[in-house]
Structure 1
Amino acid sequence: MFRGLTMKLFWLVLLFVYPGYALANSWPGFAKQQSCLELYPDFHHLVKDMRQHQPWYKAEYWLAPWLLPKQQFDQTQELECAQLEYHSDTILVQAWGLQPKAKGKQKWPVIIYNRGGNSALGRLDYVSVLRQLSPLAQQGFIVLASQYRGSVPQDQQTYGKDQFGGADVRDIHQLIELAKKLPAADANNIFLYGISRGGMMSYLTAHQRDDIRAMAITGAPTNLVTELPRKPEMELIFRSLIPDYDQHKVRELEQRSVIYWAEQLPATLPILLIYGGKDQRVHPDNSRLLAAKLTELKRPVRLIEFAEADHLLTDYKEQERQAMLNWFRQHHYGPATAAP
């Protein structure tokens, strides 16, 4: 009797002293996991960290309530949230994971979020998680977001090198396989959500799979060959990241441009394309022309334009999020998942 009581007390103390241990059953298969609660036990810790390490926080302090929303921080505490690392090929890849807390045998659909940027540029920090990922998990989804290999440029031996749509695509495939093994994951409902470069990564991933239920893409390049003359400064990035770029420039760009192989995407894959009419980073024609080609191929596609929006749809984030969630629920396999 006393032995059983002692063991119960031991586990209770362990969970309080080391809350990250409670994650062990939530994120199996990941090489490393640290709970968001460990990272930032309360909002004051997050504010303190921002003041110490984020120059923009001081420079734009008057924007702090919007850039660093306390309400969203509090709501995220109601989720299972973790900073993760996982193996892909012979390297480690960093990621974030969020999911609603378990309710019996409840299974949640999965959103694989593919970020924009390259290397360390565009890395998801905890503020990004609060603003971009947490609202999705609160609507009844498991959300996993890879940082891609190369997100720690100073340690390429451990974390690899970004190839901007090359070997790094395998990092998304590996994340999907890990997602399917999560105890609370509905493996029949895996969705891809890509922004900017993340849209390109989503197309490349879907090209090689037949288990993606639907995709939503925002402001993504679909033809790097025509985009390069519009943004010639991108050549420096392509040259530094894409293997064999100088020797096979057109080939490498076309391989990363869905417009050249759209017919090879799964024929029944529903694709939602969202873009800003005043996007200065990725020309709106990228989304328009792909939508036209998919329509010609008689593929399930929907195009949404926010005529006054910029690349990141800055003033239209809630509309974008609702359109994307509605798209995923519309194409959910089995009974639709209601928001908790």
Structure 2
Amino acid sequence: MFIMLKLSHLAVPFMSLAFVAASVSSVQAEDSPQFFSSYEGISSQQDCFAPPFDDAEVLRTVAAETSFTPWNQNFDRLFSDRFFAARQSQTECLRFTYDVDGVEVPGFMVRPANSYEDTPVLVFHRGGNGSFGAINFVNLYARYMGMVGEGYTIIGSNLRAEDEFGGADVDDARAILSIVQGMDNVDHDRIALWGSSRGATQMMQVARGRDDIHALVFEMGAADHEQSLVTRPEMIEVYENRVPDFDENREQAMKDRSVVYWADELPQVPVLILHGEQDERVDVEQAHLLAAALDESGHEYELKIYPEAGHSLMRIADEDMFSWLGEVLNR
């Protein structure tokens, strides 16, 4: 174990806009398009820079109106015409929909443009629930497009609208791995999962029992959901409203969502745990609970606690994460 000390609710605060894929026209399945994956469940895909986001001025207007703008200090540069043109030319970005048991689910993908090399894959698991926490174009542009410079394909699901906080919506996230398996120009021997907040715990549900995953990044997540209610009891409303038959099945529902009870069923791959010591939504003790469970199950892991950080590690932990991924995926 390695501990590095450094320097929102189970949700990531910078993801507050609603996902806008439905607001633009999509390539429909009946047109028999060439989708980015051979996975048969994909029903449509759309270039992220399709109208209205083919115009830097439109993007600046939308970004300026967001309620949470962590890019404020660099706003003029990040959303300038020149920077916008660079993003367009250097990044392939797609929004797509896919079917899971008759439910249409929105997803997103970014990767280096015109790359014919097999890139490693980072499957991102979002925080929040329902529309809160969904990834929108501003998020993709401001953060994830910047990450493709690390040489990764980044892909994820926005989950079904009526998610179950780790129930049927886990299948939405599992299907992303099937989509990845149908993609060209990706390295299927270097697939990592990255989950943030609620997404970290759901990521572990996806990883449980699989053998096609090569690293896990658990960021600001709850490892024991029942214990997390001790420090944030108001979260009970989310479980009651989202989890089917929660009152009658509380004990099992919480165990199904809590990796500490089944860490031995995770693939034997390296795990990176990231958490802010001042996290007001998921107590940092959750990171230590996961570390203890991984110790017991014999997993290799690294624990990185950021003393000054709260429930957002955006930009704070990115460099550490990619450095670690580069080491464990290139062994």
Is TM-score (shorter-chain normalized) higher than 0.5?
Answer: yes
Distance in 1, matches of 2:71 and 2:260, equals 43
8 A Cα contact 1:263 1:297, kept in partner: yes
TM superposition shift of 1:246: 0.6
Q: Say how many residue pairs are matched.
A: 297
Output the CA distance in 2 between the equivalents of 1:67 and 1:289: 42
- 2-side partners of 1:324 and 1:64: how far apart? 23
Looking at structure 2, the residues matched to 297 and 56 of structure 1 have their Cα atoms a distance apart, in angstroms, of: 42
Rg: which structure is higher? 1
1-structure distance, mates of 2:295, 2:78: 40
What displacement does 1:293 show?
Answer: 2.4
Identify if the C-alpha distance between structure 1 residues 258 and 19 changes in structure 2 by more than 3 Å, giving closer, same or farther.
Answer: closer
Q: What's 1:42 paired with?
A: 55
Q: Which residue of structure 2 aligns with residue 196 of structure 1?
A: 197
Per-residue Cα deviation, 1:249-283 (whole angstroms, up to 9, x for no partner): 121111101011112212x2110000001000000
- Cα separation, 2, equivalents of 1:67 and 1:285: 38
Match of 2:258 in 1: 257
Q: Structure 2 counterpart of 1:304, which letter?
A: K
C-alpha change, 1:277 and 1:55, in structure 2 (3 Å) is closer
Match of 1:126 among 137, 140, 144: 137
State TM-score, norm by structure 2. Answer: 0.82
Cα distance, 1:296 vs structure 2: 3.3
Q: Give distance in 1, aligned partners of 2:70 and 2:263.
A: 45
Q: 1:325 aligns with which of 299, 304, 322?
A: 322
2:104 is paired with a residue of what secondary structure?
Answer: strand
Of the two structures, which has the highest relative contact order with CA contacts closer than 8 Å and spacing of 6 or more?
Answer: 2
> How much has 1:37 moved relative to structure 2?
1.8
Identity score, percent: 27
Whole-angstrom distance in 2 between the partners of 1:124 and 1:324: 20
- Shift, 1:295, TM fit: 2.0
Gaps of 5+ in 1: 1-17, 151-160, 335-340
Residues 188 and 333 in structure 1, CA contact (< 8 A), matched pair in contact too: no
What corresponds to 2:20 in structure 1? none
CA distance in 2, matches of 1:194, 1:238: 19
Deviations 1:146-205 (A, max 9, x none): 10111xxxxxxxxxx201001111111111111121111211111101000010111101
Matched residue of 1:24: which SS?
Answer: coil
Contact 2:63 2:138 in 1 (8 A): no
Q: How does 1:180-219 map to 2 (within 5 A)?
A: 180-219=181-220
1:24 aligned residue (17, 20, 34): 34
Q: Which amino acid aligns with 2:156?
A: A
Indicate the residue corresponding to 1:89 in structure 2.
101
In the alignment, structure 2 segments of 5+ residues that lack a partner are: 1-24
State whether residues 165 and 256 of structure 1, in contact with CA within 8 Å, keep that contact through their aligned partners in structure 2: yes
Change (3 A) 1:31 1:270: same
Return structure 1 stretches of 4+ with deviation > 6 angstroms.
18-21
Q: How far off its partner does 1:32 sit? A: 1.0
Structure 1 residue identity aligned to 2:128: G
Alignment partners' CA distance in 1, 2:310 and 2:61: 31
Alignment of 1:89-128 (within 5 A): 89-104=101-116, 106-128=117-139
